[in-house]
Structure formats: C-alpha cells, structure tokens
Amino acid sequence: MCDPVIDPESYVRIAEECGMKVLYVIDTHVHADHISTGRRLAELAGASYVLHACSEAQYPFTPVSDGDVLDLGNVKIQVLHTPGHTPEHISLLVTDLTRGPEPWFLLTGHTVMVGDLGRTELASSAKEGAQALYETIQKLKNLPDHIEVLPGAFSGSVCGRSLSGKPMSTIGFERRFNPAFRIESEDDFVRHMLENVPVPPPGAEKIRAINLGLQEG
C-alpha cells in the first residue's frame, strides 16, 4: 500500500475481500498537504511501515535505502531514492514476474508527475531541493521509455504547477513533453523550478510536523 490517504479500515476491508494481506505500507515521503494514514494502516494490518532511512520521523519505521528490494512474491519493488520534493522522497520501481522479468511501472509520488515535477521548498530551501531534484531526474532519465509513470498527484494538487488531469504517463512521454523533465542544464533546471512556485498548502509546516511525529494531530 503506497501513500494511503483514506480511512485505513477501508484498505484493510478491501484487502480481506480480495483475499490479500497487506505486508508493507509505504509513504514515498513525509507529506505536507495531508495527514498520512500510513502508520495507522500498518498497525491495523500488521504490516511494516516503510520510509527512507534518512527520514527524521520520530517513531519506529522500517528504513529502506536506494536499491533495496521489497519482495511480494510475484511482485518485486525496487526502492529508488529520489530526493528533491523532500530529502527523504523515494520512488518505487515495480516488476510483476507474471508479466515479465523487467520493471513495468514506477510509483513516483510527488517527483515526476504528468506534465511537471514536484515543488522543492516544503522541506528544504527551494534551491537545495531543486538541485537534489536535478540529480534525481538524471537517474530517472536512465529508465526505459516504456516504464509507466504513476504519480501521487495530478491537476488540482498544490504539489506541482502545470499538472495534467491525466493520472498516468510513461517515462518516454514525459521525456518528450514535460518541460521540466526535458531540461538538460542544471542551472536552467534550478532556474525553472524556482519560477512561479505556488503558495504552500494550508498548514503545511504543521501537517509535516504531525507526519514526522513531532506534533500531535
């Protein structure tokens, strides 16, 4: 389960109805636009709650690092550390061995979204975040064009600027048509990411503090 947002009991009920067991609950990053239900879902499901190892969360979690693989039987999830939107951000490269031996899709959280990239100032300075995101994008550009991109936000979200209403894409399509993804120069990239930054989500600092366990919700 990745980036859960609704009542955790709903996820548990759906899993039971499908005859499935929730083994991992993963937040791609410590969110600043909503209160995560991840920890509560992991508790209810008896699952591991997963964050990147560099997270400053003040509660127990299962730490993962770049290159780690989560084994779900026929499905393998490779963890990619993709900082920029936040320092601890991860993306999840998913292989379904019943379909083939190569990765099929990438859960990108708020890193690459359809038509734009995630804002970079909610957990660091905007410039530092943009510099980290530039390195992240160079890594993702090495993925094959056919890899599907399933982001955590689309049009209407405050976590990006020119987001499409389309909920999914491919690395190849974003390589060709995503203005930020296409930029080659680091200086040009940072300059682009610092332009027209939208206003922060309401209560962003408090929400992130709650999700880090630094403050009661």
The answer to whether residue 64 is domain-embedded is yes
Domain range spanning residue 119? 8-199
Residue 100 has pLDDT above 60, yes or no: yes
Q: What is the CATH number of the domain that holds 171?
A: 3.60.15.10
The answer to whether residue 210 is domain-embedded is no
* Widest distance between CA atoms in the chain: 51
**Residue 215: phi, psi to the nearest 5?**
-150, 145
The answer to whether residue 206 is domain-embedded is no
Specify whether the CB–CB gap between 115 and 105 falls below 8 A.
no
DSSP of the chain: -BS--S-HHHHHHHHHHTT----EEE-SS--SSS---HHHHHHHHT-EEEEETT---SS--EEE-TT-EEEETTEEEEEEE--SSSTT-EEEEEEETTT-SS--EEEEETSEETTEE--S-SSS-HHHHHHHHHHHHHHHTTS-TT-EEEES--TT-TT-SS--S-S-EEHHHHHHH-HHHH---HHHHHHHHTSSPPPPPTTHHHHHHHHHTSS--
Q: How many CA atoms lie within 13 A of 37 on its CB side?
A: 13
Read off the pLDDT of residues 116-170 as tens digits, 9 standing for 90 and up.
999 999 999 999 999 999 999 999 999 999 999 999 877 656 666 777 778 899 9
Q: What distance lies between CA 152 and its chain's CA centroid?
A: 6
Residue 96 has pLDDT above 90, yes or no: yes
Task: Report d(CA 39, CA 134) in Å as an integer.
Answer: 30
Specify whether the CB–CB gap between 163 and 154 falls below 8 A.
yes
The answer to whether residue 24 is domain-embedded is yes
User: In DSSP terms, which residues pair with 117 in a beta bridge?
Assistant: 112
The answer to whether residue 182 is domain-embedded is yes
Residue 195 has pLDDT above 80, yes or no: yes
The answer to whether residue 205 is domain-embedded is no
The answer to whether residue 15 is domain-embedded is yes
Read off the pLDDT of residues 47-84 as tens digits, 9 standing for 90 and up.
999 999 999 999 999 999 999 999 999 999 999 999 99
How many structural domains compose the chain?
A: 1
In this prediction, residue 16 has a pLDDT band, given cuts at 50, 70 and 90, of: very high
The answer to whether residue 1 is domain-embedded is no
% of the chain residues with pLDDT over 70: 96
